[in-house]
Structure 1
Amino acid sequence: MSNYRIDFAREILGVPFTVGSVGIQRARDPERALRAAELRFARQHGIGDWRERADRAVIAEGGRT
């Protein structure tokens, strides 16, 4: 199990602006970490889907330890 950090960004005129980050303490693989982060981000912001606040979610460089 590894640690991951997922960054959520909104693109404005083609430039991504980070609107939030979520740390996942334990996940079997990056795909599971990404899914868990998407759900957590939506809950934190009180929305049904993370895409209401962000255009993309990516595992941050160096986020895995």
Structure 2
Amino acid sequence: MSRYRVNFAKEILGVPFTIGCVEIARARDAERALRAAELRFARLYGLDDWRERADRAVIESRAGI
């Protein structure tokens, strides 16, 4: 199990602006962590889908932290 951080950004004129980030403490793989972060981000902002607020989700592994 690894730790992950997913950064959500809105792209304006080709420049990404970070909207928020979600930490996933444990996930089997990056795909599962991304899905969990998308759901958590949507719940945090009261949305049906995370894409209503952000254009991109970028995942990074936080192994060893």
Same fold (TM over 0.5): yes
Query: Aligned pair count?
Result: 63
For 1:32 and 1:58, the matched residues in 2 are separated by 13
Displaced runs of 4 or more, over 2 A: none
Give the SS at the match of 1:46: coil
Aligned twin of 1:27: 27
Structure 2 length normalisation: TM-score? 0.93
- Indicate whether 1:49 and 2:23 are aligned: no
In structure 1, the residue matched to 2:2 is 2
CA distance in structure 2 between the aligned counterparts of 1:11 and 1:45, rounded to whole angstroms? 18
* CA RMSD across the alignment: 0.7
Identity %: 75
